[in-house]
Amino acid sequence: MAVYTDVGEGELEAFLRNYPVGDLLSYKGIAEGTENTNFLLHTTTGSYILTLYEKRVEKSDLPFFLGLMQHLAHKGISCPLPVDGKDGNVIGMLAGRPAVIITFLEGMWLRRPQVVHCREVGRALAELHVAGKDFAMTRPNALAIDGWRKLWDAAHPRADEVEPGLAKEVDADFAEFEKNWPKDLPSGVIHADLFPDNVFFLGDRLSGLIDFYFACNDLYAYDLATCLNAWCFEKDFSFNLTKGTALLDGYQSVRPLSEDEKAALPILARGSALRFMLTRLYDWLTVPDGGLVMKRDPSEYIRRMRFHRTIKSAQEYGLK
């Protein structure tokens, strides 16, 4: 369960007095999520999410994340809206952690997304990219290639414990990425973590996007490549071309890709697979069992990396 910090009822009630959310009726920890502590609050004015930011989130990044959510919500993107405190501050302190209250979105995330859902996600991602174009704040991607290298340096000595030959394989990937990674493509604010558990649906209708705590400035097509990895592979690790076609069609219905973006999609998808493999590998090898971080097996992203090495053009992902 991803509740890392316990909060007593008395201290929570005292915290809530600084927010226009009414009186506390009940609260419970939310098991999903790997980075922060989350509680679902029920008050006399409605339902809210309380987030306590743990050590993996830098307090200095919070104005960007929260400001982006406010900006996108005002642009018509369905996402949580931070609640201003009565003192004018969004961020408070609770149980020794920075904490915020955000509005509650109706819907649920899908464990078995279908083709229609992939199309909706592609469209929503493009709408996010368009809506974020005039967001004034910027944040570099801490998990771009330089960030990958730091993770890899820490995991490299034991990488072959996960799969023999993995160290040599990833070293070759880094050599190629550092030489050929695209740089001059359209860029702006990206979500960077739009996995199924960060997208809510009501039936087949997308009802909202959540968890903007990896958001940053980077290539739009890299964000799209991350969605291909997150939404279009099946449990047996095979790529679902029909889902890929739907996701890409949905995206291009709002923001058509340039020819350079299309050409770069295979290396971007391969790099995105490496990025998520490395964060999983690092935790798998360095975090003790029973620790606060939810460890995930890196094997599925090793297989995605290998798949993307076979791809020669974006048409093989279903791009029309």
| DSSP category for residue 173 | H
Residue with the bigger pLDDT between 139 and 34: it is 139
For residues 32 and 141, state if they share a domain.
no
pLDDT tens, 228-276? 999 999 999 999 999 999 999 999 999 999 999 999 999 999 999 999 9
For residue 110, tell me if it sits in a domain: no
The torsion angles phi and psi of 40, rounded to 5 degrees, stand at: -90, 125
162 HSE (CA, 13 A, CB side)? 27
Half-sphere exposure of 275 (CA within 13 A, CB side): 24
pLDDT digits (tens, 9 = 90+) for 124-171: 999 999 999 999 999 999 999 999 999 999 999 999 999 999 999 999
The mean pLDDT value for 282-311 works out to: 85
The pair of structure tokens assigned to 54 is 């743990």
User: 228 in helix, strand or coil?
Assistant: helix
Number of domains forming the structure of the chain: 2
Give a yes or no: residue 139 inside a domain. Answer: yes
Boundary residue ending a domain (48, 77, 103): 103
Contact 129, 255 (CB under 8 A): yes
Task: Looking at the structure, tell me whether residues 147 and 265 fall in a common domain.
Answer: yes
pLDDT reported for residue 313: 97
Q: Please indicate, yes or no, if residue 4 is contained in any of the structural domains.
A: no
Which residues form the domain of 95?
9-103
1 pLDDT higher than 50: no
Q: Over range 111-135, report the average pLDDT.
A: 97
The alpha-helical segments, DSSP class H, found in the chain are 9-16, 62-74, 115-131, 145-155, 166-180, 220-231, 241-252, 259-286, 299-309
